[in-house]
Structure 1
C-alpha cells in the first residue's frame, strides 16, 4: 500500500527535532513493508521574510530513508482563513508531484487537523482517497487557534474515514466536537534509544530526579521546583531539567531565589539522544504538567525502567499506575512533595525490569504498526463501501 503521510509539523534547519515522533512512526511503517511518502507543507512565518535562503516551493530529498516532498514558502495570509485555501493549493501541488514521481496514492494519513489534516481532507475529497487523521493536539489548549479556524477543523474530523486520538483523555475531548467513533492509538516511541541495559554510570552518589519539557506555561515546572525545595532542601538530591522555552530564565531565577540553584541544574534544549542519556543517569522522572494529550517522555523514562511522577493531565492516566510510579492531582503542591519523597525513600520497591518489560509490551513499534495497519484496512473498507 502506498501511504502519503502529512505531518502538521516536522523537522527543519531551525528545529531539527520537531515532529520526531511522526518521523519514527513513518520509518517503522516503511520498515514493515508499506510504501511511505512524506508530504509536508513547510510554512515559514512572514516575520522571517528575507532571512531564509532556502529554495521555495517543491523540494525533494531522502531523509532517513524516507522519500520526502516539502512545499516551502511563507504564510502570506497569517491569522486569515484565506491561508487554508493557500495551504490546500500547496498540498494539491505536492500530491500531483508525488503521484507523478511515486505512483498512485492508496491512502492518506494526516497528523493533526491543524494544519495538515485540513489540507489532507481537501485532497481526499478531490481525488477520492481514503483518509485517516490522527489528532495529537488539544483544541482547548491550542495557543494559535482562532475561533474562525474551528469550522475547518471540525469539517476535517467529520470527513475523514477514521479519526484517531493519541490518548483516551484527548478522545474524550474530541467527542465534544465530533459525533463519531474515535480510535485510540498511542504515539510511537523509538524504545531502542531508551534501553535500560545500556544505562550510563552515575556521576555521583546523589539521588537524581530528571524532568524534560518545553519550558512554557502549564508544564508544572514552577510547582516541581517549589515542591523539590520543600522535600529536599540541602539534601543529597538533584533535579536536572531538560528543555528550553520562554519561562527558562524565570525558572532559573526561581531556583536561585529560593536557595536551591546548586541542586537544580538546567540543561537547555536536548536532542533525543541526550534525553535518553539523562533518562539513564537519573533515578526517577517527574513531570507534573497540567495538560498532555499523551506524554511520550513518561514512556521514555519507563523504557529505561525508571519510576515516574505525573499529574492527572489527560495523558498520564493512560500510562502511570502504582507499579511504575505515582500520579497526583494537578497543581497540588502537597501531593507532589509527598510523591517526590515517596519515590526517593521507597525507590527499591519499583522493579526496573518489570517496568521496562511492561512498557515494551504496551508501546513497542511492532504493536503500534499492527494497530495502524488495521486502521488502514478499515479506512479502505469504509471509504469504498
Structure 2
C-alpha cells in the first residue's frame, strides 16, 4: 500500500524541528509492514536562493523525500507575490508527485495523506478529481479550536470544511479538535483520533530515580499570545519568596524571544539565576532536561495535543498545564498525571505549582510512563494508521 504524504509543516533546511511531530507520524507509518511512504514538501525559502526554486531529494532513509523551496519575494507587490507563490507551491508539489511516481515505477499512490490544511488539502482534492486517488486529512492546528477561532478567516473556514467533507477520512490528535472541526462543518465519512508519537527510547525516566532540586521546565515555541510564557514568568517571580532557590529552565525559540528575555530581566529573574534560557535544544537534550525537572509547566491558551506534555509523562514527570483545548482529555483521570488550571488564571497556576513542588512524590513515575506508552507508543500509533488506510480502501 503506497502512501503519498503532503505536509504543510515538515523539518527543512531552515528549521529541523518545524513540524517534527508530523515527521514522527510519517516515520511511524512507514515502519508498518506492507506500507510504503513518500513525502513531497514545498515551502517559501527563508534565505537567498540562486534561482527561483531549489530542490532537495533524500532517498537515503526509509521515507523518500522531495523538498522544494521557492523565493519569498518575486515582484515586490504583495497581492501579486502571494498569488505567484501559491502557483510556485503547486508547481513544486506537482513536480514532486511526478518524481514519486517515477520512483515507484510509474504507479501512483493508493492514498494521499494531507498533514495540516489548507492548500495541501485543495491539491489532494484536485488529485482525487483528476486521478481518483482518495485522500486523508490530518489536522493539528490550534487555529481551529474555539480559543483561537477568531484568527480563522472566513474563506479558510469555508474551504477547510469543503475539503474535509470530500476526504475519505479525517484524523485528529484529540477529540476536542475533531469536535471543533465538526462545529465548522468539517466532517468526513470517517473520523478517527490517533495520538501524536512519543519516542519512548529517548524520553524515559531517570535511572536511578532521584529527587531533583526544585526546578520547573517550560518547553514551547516563543509565540507568547498562544503559549503565554509571560504569565509563567510572572507566576515564578511571585513564588520566589516562598521557594528560595526555585529555578525555571526555558527551552525553545521563536519570534517573541527577545521581548520575553527583556521581560524576565524586568521581573528580576535573570540577576539571581531564577530563569535560565536554554535556547533551541535537540530532542535528546529536551529529554535530559525533563528527567532533571521536578515538573513541566505549560500555560498555553490553546493546545491540540501538546507533545511535550506526554514526553514529560514518558520521563516520569508530572505536568502543571491548562484546562484548554485537548489537554483535559489527556489528563484523565483527573489528578493522576499532573494538575490543570484555567487559562490565564495565574493565581491558580501559582497554587498548582506550589502543590507539585511540595509533593512531587504524589505522582507515580511508573504510572506516568505507562500511560504515555499506551497513548503514544509508535507501534500502536502505526497500527492505527494502517487500520485506517485498510478501512478506506476496503481491504
Picking from 114, 121, 125, the partner of 1:121 is 125
Is structure 2 residue 69 aligned with structure 1 residue 72? Answer: yes
Picking from 190, 212, 233, the partner of 1:225 is 233
CA distance in 1, matches of 2:160, 2:187: 14
Q: Is the 8 A contact 2:161 2:187 kept in 1?
A: no
Residue in structure 2 matched with residue 185 of structure 1 by the alignment: 194
Residue in structure 1 matched with residue 90 of structure 2 by the alignment: 88
1:227 and 1:11, CA in 2 relative to 1: closer, same or farther beyond 3 A? same
CA distance in 2, matches of 1:23, 1:200: 31
Q: Deviations over 1:327-365 (max 9, x none)?
A: 100000110010010000011111111110111012111
Aligned residue pair count? 376
Q: Is the 8 A contact 2:32 2:386 kept in 1?
A: no
Residue in structure 2 matched with residue 39 of structure 1 by the alignment: 40
CA distance in 1, matches of 2:149, 2:9: 14
**SS state at 1:193 partner:** coil
Q: Is the 8 A contact 2:313 2:368 kept in 1?
A: yes
Aligned-residue offset at 1:242: 0.6
**SS state at 2:9 partner:** coil
1:113 and 1:10, CA in 2 relative to 1: closer, same or farther beyond 3 A? same
CA distance in 2, matches of 1:86, 1:54: 13
Deviates more, 1:174-183 or 1:237-246: 174-183
CA distance in 2, matches of 1:61, 1:145: 35
**SS state at 2:44 partner:** strand
1:326 and 1:40, CA in 2 relative to 1: closer, same or farther beyond 3 A? same
Deviates more, 1:140-149 or 1:300-309: 140-149
Deviates more, 1:134-143 or 1:101-110: 134-143
Deviates more, 1:367-376 or 1:292-301: 367-376
CA distance in 1, matches of 2:78, 2:22: 25
Residue in structure 2 matched with residue 315 of structure 1 by the alignment: 326
**Structure 2 length-normalised TM:** 0.87
Residue in structure 1 matched with residue 220 of structure 2 by the alignment: 213
Picking from 347, 351, 354, the partner of 1:338 is 351
**Structure 1 length-normalised TM:** 0.89
1:14 and 1:90, CA in 2 relative to 1: closer, same or farther beyond 3 A? closer
Residue in structure 2 matched with residue 25 of structure 1 by the alignment: 25
Deviates more, 1:343-352 or 1:246-255: 246-255
Q: Is the 8 A contact 1:131 1:379 kept in 2?
A: no
CA distance in 2, matches of 1:59, 1:218: 33
Q: Is the 8 A contact 1:135 1:166 kept in 2?
A: yes
Pairwise CA RMSD: 2.6
CA distance in 2, matches of 1:198, 1:331: 36
Aligned-residue offset at 1:5: 1.0
Aligned-residue offset at 1:305: 0.3
Q: Is the 8 A contact 1:110 1:116 kept in 2?
A: yes
Aligned-residue offset at 1:17: 1.4
Deviates more, 1:245-254 or 1:258-267: 245-254
CA distance in 1, matches of 2:23, 2:32: 14
Picking from 258, 268, 289, the partner of 1:259 is 268
CA distance in 2, matches of 1:25, 1:122: 24
Q: Deviations over 1:154-212 (max 9, x none)?
A: 3221211101111122112101222525321122222221011557988xx63111011
1:93 and 1:249, CA in 2 relative to 1: closer, same or farther beyond 3 A? closer
CA distance in 1, matches of 2:248, 2:350: 13
**SS state at 2:142 partner:** coil
Q: Is the 8 A contact 1:88 1:122 kept in 2?
A: no
Q: Deviations over 1:120-165 (max 9, x none)?
A: 2222222101111101113354898654444433322121110111
* Runs of 5+ consecutive residues of structure 2 not aligned to the other structure: none
* Runs of 5+ consecutive residues of structure 1 not aligned to the other structure: none
Q: Deviations over 1:79-123 (max 9, x none)?
A: 646655553343222222211221421111110113322222222
